[in-house]
Amino acid sequence: MEVNSAATEAEAVSNLFGLYKAEWLHNQLFELFTEPSYFAELANDNTCVLLGGRGTGKTTVLRGMSYEGQFALNSGSTPPLKHVPYVGLYYRVDTRRVTAFRGPEIDEDSWTKCFGHYINLVFCSLIVEFLQWYGRTASNALELDVEALERVAASLNLETTTTLADLSRTIKKTKIQFEASINNVADAARPPLSLLGAPVEELVAAAATVPALAQKRFFFILDEYENFLPYQQRVVNTLIKHASAFVFKIGVRELGWRERGTLNPNERLTHPGDYARIDLREQLTGDTFRQFASKVCNGRLGKVRLIHSDVIERIEEALPGMSEEEEAVRLGVETENRQVLASISNAALQEFGERLTPARLYFTRYWSAAGHGSVEELLADWMRNESQWETRFGNYLHASLFAIRRGKRGIRKYYAGWEVFTNIADGNIRYLLELVHQSFRGHALAGRDVATPVDAELQTRAAQDVARKNLDDLEGLSVEGARLTRLLLGLGRFFNVLAATPEGHTPELNQFEVAEEDDDPELSRACQLLDLAVMHQALVRFRGTKPADNTDTKDYDYMIHPIFTPFFVISYRRKRKTIMTARELLLLTEQPKEAIRELLAKQNRIGDYDLPDQMNLFGGYFGVG
Amino acid sequence: MLAERPILTDVYEHVSEFSPEAASIYVFRRSNEERSEQVPPMLAAGSAVAIEVLQEERFSTLMQLGEEQFTVPLRSERSLAAFWARFAIGTPVYLDITGLSHHVWSAFLKSALAHQHDVMALYVEPADYRYSSVATDGEIFDLSLRTEGIDSLPGFATLAEESTDLVFIPLLGFEGARLAHLLEETEPAADRIIPIVGVPGFRIEYPFHTYAGNKRVLTATGAWRRARYAAANCPFSLYYLLEDISREFPLARLSIAPIGTKPHALGAVLFKVLQGSTNVELVYDFPIRKVGRTRGADRLFVYHVATLAGGAMRGQ
């Protein structure tokens, strides 16, 4: 019975963390909603652009801001939305819909007009749906002024409507007719179109005549803005620039906002004049992200504890980490340490070596392997220059950990602890929930008690599994998914060999910049690939040492997204960089074995070290094993 | 019950056993697969009128009838109707979907059914599929070099959907990455994914390959629990299964992704056309096919789709 109960508890914990995508949460989204620190800024009266990668929580926040979200988050209190000064109308930009508005049958100008009309229909539908919902929820059916409704219908080129229900029906019918005309766009028989934004302004103005809504600002919340085609972004940008009765809250991936222009060729959206920019990569860093993540995870643990009271209380306790010195011991430095000590003939040196911590004694071996002298010489030097050695030990210990189990089976480097997990999630709440979920799952499968912390080994295995899962996912994220996967695999193996063979080389070399060769014919292809890799979070980029006013792709420093580091056994810390040419980057996706060999040779390394266990499946791909 | 749901299919154990009806119309395309080359030689000897699709573009197709070459825009009901108007109603029409891409045959089929042509879809099974030599599951660069991205099939764009309750129905093939990509773009709730597996498969082991290829996504979403089955080579079984699912979710929007077998895709297109509902949509990823993805030719099927359409129309 107890086993069953423990299994149920473990399953409950795992399940709650397993729901890490907003769309998977379905009905639990608002129940598990955690307000991030930037929410107040997002909910102000201005147009905001929320910029962040997949999994940074954009959809959850934007849906939380919708009228359905705000109603649910306030426990359905009536009258609805009395506590917020806005009405959020959520709309996810759906690739399947918007890609229908392209093709050679008509020119871009005509597509622009068709798309503008479609946007009018969609936005008016959102407002009408809201008004009908509001009426139902407040048990007080709303009616708008007849003249106002007539103006909306006229503006949309619809037959006259006098009630909200009429308008709703007519818009639906018009959408069906419009669908048929787009499906037969070559037949050039289009229904009358409407002027971009005009009916929406009319309808918002009409809605504002309802006393309960008079003081409320209408927000159009557009999620996944990157799915709009470039000309479509210009259409909506035009609305952003000129709309007066409503504002926008836009969720978009880094590099997904390709067009800042409007339909007026001389006009662009500018920050902060036209919109406020909230960059989640800046918002969700370090302690800010850790605190937010802690609220999210502890909130979920609290829900499980309502039913299973002995579940561990805080996420920080559930995921204990270890110091680097402890890690060195756990990675097994002591056996060889003993052998080395036994081989030292000088008693004073032997005694000094025994007094050193296992990690320090290992470090003398590491330093010796890097060609700085025998272990005995180094121990003697340490005795004489303790402070210098302590600094060296502090600087190089982390890099040296990767060499302890080089070429051996099993875990070669631990990735454990709440702080490490929040670091490798790198501001991405979805990644963090995956790490926690997978850790609890492993804990449960190992038959461990939910009241106890998850062991470092299980956390590391979980981190490897999450990295592998996201590596696999990469293929499906984009039409160029296969190339991104190959790029990541190639870079991963390259940096993996560098990390495993640090002796005598620059430690923790895990970043790169693109060589500045402006006449390189491959540069633009390589930059496109890098942009895609950043957009889909295969890589992260950050300002390098180059002038801050440069915005070219090649002016950034790049690094494998930290979530993948447990899989490739490399450091997640931002440390040192190398230079790669456009040709080398492209070669990684086309001839990976040759490219890796070439890159390693430049670093004076060879790449025939055994792969870590979790990478073995790719042995054929890398030409290893 | 079975009589109400007939499997309107003629099966030929080998392509050589088949010959088109006299004075029929035969629309086909030679793709880069061996199986699409099987029927055309036979046409030369018979009395069927052969219409070859010479070139497929995203929104149009170049065709040849005798010496005449002409282009048919796919997003033009008027042009498609004009194409069918060349032939008298009642003339048997074979639409050989073996070598045609989904976005081409679906447009012609929709129009043929709308104008009540006696259309039959024809399909030749491959003898075998090629597999990846790289040992990673869900390889997108195996059967497809890459995809062109998610889009609607020409003439099948849905802009007037009513329900926000989405039920996503992927008709599974071997390529897990394609399913992953569609899920990424479609974003259904995890408990609203109903994958359909071709069982029995063209070969006895194919359903296992289907599960293996899609394992990651099916596991991550728990969708494997809701899998349904329809014979891989039977559009009608798939059609009836979709009918059942739509009855289970009467208020939902069904988003069907035909990324599995062509007969399944045919069943999905028939369902969309014959149901005529704004709450049924087809979502497709336009794969760019790799040369030599299949080998050989096996059985040939003739699907009497107009007969089903006639029944469906009478039932409406």
Report pLDDT for A62: 94
Bridge partner list, B71: B62
Q: Mean of the pLDDT values across residues B144-159? A: 83
- Does the beta carbon of A178 lie under 8 angstroms from any beta carbon of chain B? yes
**Assigned token pair, A188:** 């050039």
Cite the DSSP H helix spans in chain B: 40-45, 77-84, 102-114, 140-143, 176-186, 206-221, 235-248, 262-275, 305-315
Region class of B139: left (phi > 0), else alpha (psi between -120 and 50), else beta? beta
Domain boundaries, chain A: 47-274, 324-404, 478-622
Omega prior to B200 cis, within 30 of 0: yes
Distance of CA B166 to the CA centre of its chain: 22
Q: How many residues does chain A have?
A: 625
Q: How many other C-beta atoms are found inside a 10 Å radius of the C-beta of residue A260?
A: 15
* Residue in A104, A118, A477 closest to B159 by CB: A118
- B281/A183 CB distance under 8 A: no
Mean pLDDT of B39-52: 79
Of A352, A351, A414, nearest to A389 (Cα)? A352
* Alpha helices, DSSP H, located in A333-450: 333-342, 347-355, 358-367, 375-384, 386-404, 418-425, 429-445
Bond from prior residue into A272 cis (ω within 30 degrees of 0): yes
Q: What pLDDT is recorded for position A109?
A: 95
B145/A199 Cα distance (integer angstroms): 45
Q: A618 — contact with chain B (CB < 8 Å)?
A: yes
Contact at CB, B152 and A479, closer than 8 angstroms: no
The whole-angstrom separation of Cα A301 and Cα A316 is 11
Report which residue type is found at A386: E
pTM of the predicted model, to two decimals? 0.85
Give the model's pLDDT for residue B143: 41
For residue B278, the chain A residues in CB contact (below 8 A) are: 176, 179
Cβ B80 vs Cβ B107: under 8 Å: yes
**pLDDT at site B2:** 46
Best to test chain A binding among B80, B159, B225 (most A CBs inside 10 Å): B159
B57, B58, B75, B137, best to mutate vs chain A, most A CBs in 10 Å: B75
Distance CA A553, CA B104 (A): 39
Q: Indicate whether B302 pLDDT > 70.
A: yes
Instruction: Using the Cα atoms of residue B126, residue B46, residue B82 and residue A108 in order, give the sign of their dihedral.
Output: positive
How far apart (Å, rounded) are the C-alpha atoms in residues A74 and A309?
A: 26
| Chain B nearest-CA residue for A119 | B159
Closest-CA residue to A421 (of A442, A402, A435) = A435
A426: which residues sit within 8 A by CB, 6+ positions away? A540, A561, A562, A563, A572
The angle formed by the CA atoms of residues B133, B137 and B140, to the nearest 5 degrees, is 75
Of B76, B152, B186, the CB nearest to A186: B76
Answer yes or no: do A479 and B147 touch at CB < 8 A. yes
Element (H, E) at B294: strand B294-295
Measured between CA atoms, how close is B8 to chain A, in angstroms?
29
Nearest CA in chain B to A480: B146
B139, B149, B158 member nearest A479 (Cβ)? B149
Yes or no, beta carbons of B216 and A175 under 8 Å apart: no
Partners of residue A90 on adjacent β-strands: A221
Using the predicted structure, report yes or no on whether residue B113 has a pLDDT greater than 90: yes
Binary contact (A23, B188; C-beta < 8 A): yes
B180: nearest CA partner in chain A: A476
d(C-alpha A379, C-alpha B100), whole Å: 75
Decide if A100 and B159 are in contact by the 8 Å CB cutoff: yes
Q: How do strand A86-92 and strand A276-279 relate by DSSP bridges?
A: unpaired
State both tokens at B191: 């408990």
Instruction: Tell me the C-alpha distance between A582 and A516, whole Å.
Output: 9
pLDDT over 50 (residue B182): yes
How buried is A276 (Cβ within 10 angstroms: 0-12 exposed, 13-18 middle, 19+ buried)? middle
Domain boundaries, chain B: 2-128+295-315, 148-291
List pLDDT tens digits, range B163-178. 778 999 999 998 888 8
Task: Quote the pLDDT of residue B133.
Answer: 40
Name every chain B residue with its beta carbon within 8 A of the beta carbon of A176.
160, 278
Q: Confidence class of residue B83 from pLDDT cuts 50, 70 and 90?
A: very high
The CATH number corresponding to B148-291 among 3.40.50.620, 3.30.70.20, 1.10.600.10, 2.40.50.140 equals 3.40.50.620
Residues of chain A with pLDDT under 70: 1-11, 14-16, 18-28, 518, 545-554, 625
> In terms of Cα–Cα distance, which of A534, A321, A525 is closest to A419?
A321
Beta-bridged to residue B295, according to DSSP, are B128
Classify A519 in phi/psi space as left (phi over 0), alpha (psi -120 to 50) or beta: alpha
What DSSP element (H or E) covers B170? strand B166-171
Find the length of chain B.
316
Q: Which two tokens stand for residue A505?
A: 């080389």
User: How many alpha carbons fall within 13 Å on the CB side of residue B196?
Assistant: 33
Which residue of A lies nearest to B186 if distances are taken between CA atoms?
A94
Whether the per-residue pLDDT at B97 is higher than 80: the answer is: yes
Nearest-CA distance from B141 to chain A in Å?
6
Cβ atoms of B218 and A472 closer than 8 Å:
no
- pLDDT, position A546: 54
User: Chain A to chain B, count of Cβ pairs less than 8 Å apart?
Assistant: 147
- Asked if B152 and A187 come within 8 Å (Cβ–Cβ), the reply is no
Q: How far is B28 from chain A (nearest CA, A)?
A: 23
Helix (H) or strand (E) holding A50: strand A48-51
Binned at pLDDT 50, 70 and 90, residue B142 comes out as: very low
- On whether the CB atoms of residues B256 and B117 are closer than 8 A, the answer is no
Sign of CA dihedral A325, A331, A337, A338: positive
B50 token code pair: 């052969």
Question: What is the distance between the alpha carbons of residues A214 and A8, in angstroms, rounded to a whole number?
Answer: 50
pLDDT, tens digit (0-9, with 9 covering 90-100), for A401-454: 999 998 888 999 999 999 999 999 999 999 999 999 999 989 988 888 888 999
Task: Band the pLDDT of B138: cuts 50, 70, 90.
Answer: very low
ipTM of the complex: 0.90
Q: Calculate how close chain B gets to A474, using CA atoms only, in Å.
A: 9
Among A183, A475, A477, the residue with its CB nearest the CB of B156 is: A183
CB contact under 8 A, B157 and A179: yes
Indicate yes or no: CB of B180 within 8 angstroms of CB of A482: no
Residues 6+ apart with CB under 8 A from A59: A22, A23, A92, A223, A224, A251
Q: Is the peptide bond before B6 cis (omega within 30 degrees of 0)?
A: no
B146·A472 Cβ contact <8 A: no
Q: Report which secondary-structure segment, H or E, holds A152.
A: helix A146-155
Locate the DSSP E strands across A412-525. Answer: 509-514
Cα gap B285→B288, rounded to integer Å: 9
Least confident of A33-47, A218-232, B99-113, B121-135: B121-135
Residue A19: predicted pLDDT: 62
Cα distance between residue B109 and residue A437, in whole Å: 47
Q: How far is A56 from chain B (nearest CA, A)?
A: 15
**Residue A599 confidence (pLDDT):** 93
Contact B180 A23 (CB under 8 A): no
Closest CA to B194 of B255, B149, B260: B255
Residues on chain A touching B184 (C-beta within 8 angstroms): 473, 476-477
A179 interface with B at CB cutoff 8 Å:
yes
State whether A24 and B148 contact (CB < 8 Å). no
More confident residue, B162 or B28: B28
User: CB-based contacts of B268: which residues, under 8 Å, 6+ apart?
Assistant: B171, B238, B242, B256, B258, B282
From CA A154, how far away is CA A323, in angstroms rounded? Answer: 70
Across the interface, whether the CB atoms of A621 and B136 are under 8 A apart is answered: yes
Alpha-carbon distance B229 to nearest alpha carbon in chain A (angstroms): 24
| Contact (CB<8Å) A618/B136 | yes
Q: Does A617 touch chain B (CB under 8 A)?
A: yes
What is the CA angle B238-B242-B248, rounded to 5? Answer: 145
CB contact under 8 A, A621 and B187: no
